[in-house]
A = this chain, B = another copy of it.
């Protein structure tokens, strides 16, 4: 039953399955699965057994916890980046308004009599 899915070329793989599930349990699990899915099931059982040998306390649950932490980090980073996008969107919009207003002033400058600027080039002289 197990031989086609655990070839003797990779005895370590079967050793893990044997140690964690026991050969008869593993065979029974595969037997309850449609033939066309047994290869995937055998691979998944071998992976689970491998992780439990590597980490006898948490096994595949340890891998899952690690991935969940990775997801949390990615989601937090995404939220921060989305906040940055919102901030920039507002900044771009505000600058666009500013440009439109200033451009309007420039376009209509000929309607206003020449006068010194209110701010800008004219600075009060330094007091010695």
Contact = CB atoms under 8 A, between A and B. Distances in A.
A102 B56 CA distance: 68
Of A43, A62, A88, the most chain B CB neighbours within 10 A belong to A88
A54 interface: no
Interface in A76-116: 77-78, 81-82, 84-85, 88-89, 91-92, 95-96, 98-99, 102-103, 105-110, 113-116
Chain A interface size band reads 35 or more
A100 to B, nearest CB: 10
Question: Which of A32, A43, A77, A81 has most chain B Cβ within 10 Å?
Answer: A81
B107 A109 contact: no
A109 B85 CA distance: 36
A102 B95 contact: no
A105 B106 contact: yes
Those 5 A-B pairs whose CB atoms lie nearest each other, nearest first: A107-B120, A88-B88, A44-B61, A74-B74, A95-B95
Given A29-B52, A91-B92, 12 more contacts: A21-B22, A25-B25, A33-B57, A43-B61, A47-B61, A67-B67, A67-B68, A71-B74, A81-B85, A98-B99, A102-B106, A108-B117
A21 to B, nearest CB: 6
